[in-house]
Amino acid sequence: MTQEFDVMPGNKAVAHGVRLARVEVVPVFPITPQTTIIEYISDFVADGKLDAEYIHSEGEHSCMAMAVGASMTGARTFTATCSQGLAYMHEVVAQATNYRTPLVMAIANRTLGWYWSLGPDYSDIMPEMNLGWLVNFVETNQECLDMTLMNYKIAEDYRVLLPTMMSLDGFYLSYSQERVYLPEIEMVDDWLPPYKAPYPVDPTVSKAWPSAMIPPALHTTYRKLHEDVMNDAKKVIAEVDKSYGEVFGRSYGGMVEKYRCEDADSLIVTMGSMTTAARRAVDKLRSEGEKIGLLKLRFMRPFPNEEIIELAEQVESIGVVDRVMMHGTGGGMAFQDIKGVLYNTEIKVPVQNFVTGLGGEDIPIDDLYVMGKKILKNKGRKLINEVEFVAHEFQAAAPPVEYEGDSCMHPGSDGCAGCGASIIARTLLDTLGENTVVINPPNCSGVNYGGVVKVPWVLGNFAAGAAYMTGVYRALRKKGKADKVYVTSYAGDGGTVDIGLQSISGAAERGESIIWLCYDNEAYMNTGIQRSGSTPLFSATSTTPVGSEWKGKPQRRKNMLMIMAAHRIPYIATASLSYLPDFKRKIKKAAEVTRAGEGLAYLHVHQPCTTGWYFDPAKTVEIGRLAVQSGAWPIMEIDHGVPKINVKPRELKPVKEYLAPQRRFRHVTDEQLEIIQGYINNDWDSYLRLEKDGKLPWY
């Protein structure tokens, strides 16, 4: 059978799988290295190639809840995440099981902090392993596509009816290009019929729905039943793998894949993308006459007990390569599982563990070859070193360059040429001085400038920036230092208006005397320009692309100024990097009110982004000025409830002058332009009216 192929990264293969499966609901939230999956899907939806409800969620916890809600209502549902995002979903991940939602989630593996890395290891998926989901690991981009389809067929089978996590290694698969064959959608339609939920939360269809509550006396019974389901799933996995092979010409062995195991007396066990390198290592050892085989764990949940016992009976030595550490147990994940499977059997075979590739470090063929040699040596011997950590020498980057200057930021950084965020950060820190603690919910400035500042710059978690600050501030206050150290955030718009909002609202309402600084570049720039709640109307982003169906972001941005004003905090201001004296005055004012213990000071600073808005880097400050002069970004403050417009052009410039140099608006039609101009005029008039009326009545 001939099939079309294309060369694509793993994330695109997953997206094609989603398209071919005609997924109906796709809630999303960006996180590297998963994000391009949802970007490719948004392209499909924007161009009418996939007819799906695409939901831009405000954080992963919500994203997973949307997925569970959609799936329990009977829609075929997909989402994707990894690392911190998966950890943030955790609570809802557990809930997905008892609602028996056969949704499929792709995990483009990335290390879970601590320590932070963008590279893959299985520390992100490890805490999710035992929540009753099916969990499988793929090795190639083709397998990404094939397993996306197979996972729906497995998960939606009423003998299973469980959510499924598909793990593809970040970078090694997510961004690496491979040849991928694309099945015809008509063939997929025949093979994978639409999902029909047995008990959807839809009173027009069903009067019953899956319950989250059972009496404690039934818990053990139901957990046992769930274990039976997991066991039954093994049969379904084998069936689906076989049937996929018959229809599409590719099958993978079901629960595990055995490579050169026929006459093997030793076995190396792997999972995920490292398997490809392990195959080559096994080939090399085989060519030297060694009888070593490879076992690729495809499903980790349910765990392939039978397959492992069968092979353990055959071989005299086993080595397990783990890309994760289960701290406190002394070894890795697959290692502990395999040892557990073998313990109550008659089999006495040494099982050695190699823990390696953590933080996304490569696991090269040479390393796997050496591991293979060690496994072979273990035959008939008592293990001396049960767990071996295979680490590599650290190649230090270039040493720091000495210089003259006394700014709170060192010169030179990893930021984009022409980055406005660094101008804002330097102005902030130079104004506040060295006795400042910066809490940094993840963003591009953390990556680029966190390492070049001369004050403590602490990486917080995305949804909890203001809560970290509260902790720091309260500890300082308890120790009598609240008037000696400033606590400020350096947060992006995503960390402020979307995922971080609840935490800020809590801190504002409690009256924590901290400075919230948001540098607003109007999208998630760190993960590659995805739409945020602060992205302006009609802006194109990588998750609101322009296509035959979509014409940029259809919603207006949140008005954070008014959201904060509703909290009656002492000081709220917008600012721009193009008006630095005004910005400095506002930083000083924020410092003043927080030092006086009056409560939260909120600074929202506009930051034109050369990379994300697509304009010449030399124009960063110029574009910022145009935003203010056109009224697209009014510079204001609300000082103890009194609103004031700080920069008031005699006449607002037409917004077209501000939008025209930015490629994110190049698709904007005259009609759209008129709508934007209308809203700007209306907002401007509203602010003038507020200013005229004086103190906001609710203060």
CA distance 485 to 367: 49
Considering only 122-130, 191-199, 553-561, 616-624, which stretch makes contact with another protein by CB under 8 A? 616-624
Residue closer to another protein (CB basis): 105 or 355: 355
CA distance 545 to 45: 9
Residue closer to another protein (CB basis): 250 or 426: 426
85's tokens: 């995002």
Considering only 182-190, 230-238, 449-457, 547-555, which stretch makes contact with another protein by CB under 8 A? 449-457
Residue closer to another protein (CB basis): 69 or 420: 420
Residue closer to another protein (CB basis): 339 or 585: 585
CB of residue 592 vs another protein: minimum separation in angstroms?
22
Binding mask 544-583 for another protein (x = CB under 8 A): ------------------------------------x---
CA distance 513 to 661: 40
DSSP one-letter string for 29-84: ---TTTHHHHHHHHHHHHTTSS--EEEE-SSHHHHHHHHHHHHHTT--BEEEE-HH
CB of residue 387 vs another protein: minimum separation in angstroms?
16
Considering only 77-85, 238-246, 454-462, 683-691, which stretch makes contact with another protein by CB under 8 A? 454-462
CB of residue 558 vs another protein: minimum separation in angstroms?
27
Query: Is residue 689 within the footprint of another protein (CB under 8 A)?
Result: no
Q: Strand (E) positions, 112-245?
A: 134-137, 164-169, 177-182
- Strand 636-639 to 571-576 pairing: antiparallel
CA distance 659 to 667: 11
Considering only 273-281, 366-374, 619-627, 637-645, which stretch makes contact with another protein by CB under 8 A? 619-627
Q: At what angle do helices 580-595 and 420-432 cross, to 10 degrees?
A: 40
Residue closer to another protein (CB basis): 407 or 669: 407
Query: Is residue 618 within the footprint of another protein (CB under 8 A)?
Result: yes
CB of residue 362 vs another protein: minimum separation in angstroms?
21
DSSP one-letter string for 431-489: HH-SSEEEEE-SSHHHHHHTTSBSS-EEE--GGGHHHHHHHHHHHHHHTT-TTT-EEEE
CB of residue 450 vs another protein: minimum separation in angstroms?
8
Residue closer to another protein (CB basis): 152 or 583: 583
CB of residue 580 vs another protein: minimum separation in angstroms?
5
Cis peptide before 302 (omega within 30 of 0): yes
* CA terminus-to-terminus distance, the chain: 72
CA distance 669 to 614: 18
CB of residue 160 vs another protein: minimum separation in angstroms?
42
Which residues, 405 to 444, sit near another protein by CB under 8 A? 405, 407, 409-415, 417-420, 422-423, 426-427
Vertex 35: Cα angle to 85 and 394 (nearest 5): 75
Main-chain dihedrals φ then ψ at residue 309, nearest 5 degrees: -60, -45
Could you identify the residue written with the tokens 């994110």?
A: 664
CB of residue 389 vs another protein: minimum separation in angstroms?
13
- Which of 72, 104, 428, 453 binds another protein (CB under 8 A)? It is 453
- Which of 380, 433, 451, 554 binds another protein (CB under 8 A)? It is 451
- Give the C-alpha distances (Å, rounded to integers) separating 185 from 44, 182, 428: 14, 9, 54
Are 233 and 140 in contact by the 8 Å Cβ rule? The answer is no
Considering only 103-111, 269-277, 511-519, 609-617, which stretch makes contact with another protein by CB under 8 A? 609-617
Residue closer to another protein (CB basis): 150 or 438: 438
Considering only 379-387, 506-514, 525-533, 612-620, which stretch makes contact with another protein by CB under 8 A? 612-620
- Which of 47, 622, 683, 691 binds another protein (CB under 8 A)? It is 622
Binding mask 365-404 for another protein (x = CB under 8 A): ---------------------------------xxxxxxx
- Strand 317-322 to 266-270 pairing: parallel
Kindly determine how many residues on this chain lie close enough to bind another protein according to the rule CB under 8 A.
Answer: 41
Binding mask 579-598 for another protein (x = CB under 8 A): -x------------------
Vertex 55: Cα angle to 8 and 40 (nearest 5): 10
- Strand 387-390 to 351-356 pairing: parallel
- Which of 46, 145, 300, 452 binds another protein (CB under 8 A)? It is 452
Binding mask 327-366 for another protein (x = CB under 8 A): ----------------------------------------
Burial class (CB in 10 A: 0-12, 13-18, 19+), 670: exposed
Considering only 375-383, 447-455, 632-640, 646-654, which stretch makes contact with another protein by CB under 8 A? 447-455
CA distance 278 to 258: 12
- Which of 455, 463, 515, 605 binds another protein (CB under 8 A)? It is 455
Task: Report CA 577 to chain centroid distance, whole Å.
Answer: 29
Main-chain dihedrals φ then ψ at residue 215, nearest 5 degrees: -65, 150
CB of residue 583 vs another protein: minimum separation in angstroms?
10
Main-chain dihedrals φ then ψ at residue 605, nearest 5 degrees: -110, 125
CB of residue 411 vs another protein: minimum separation in angstroms?
4
Residue closer to another protein (CB basis): 327 or 650: 327
- Strand 515-520 to 25-28 pairing: unpaired
Query: Is residue 657 within the footprint of another protein (CB under 8 A)?
Result: no
Residue closer to another protein (CB basis): 346 or 402: 402
Largest CA distance in the chain: 89
Are 645 and 637 in contact by the 8 Å Cβ rule? The answer is no
53's tokens: 């409800």
Residue closer to another protein (CB basis): 535 or 620: 620
Point out which residues bind another protein (CB under 8 A): 115, 398-405, 407, 409-415, 417-420, 422-423, 426-427, 451-457, 580, 610, 616-622
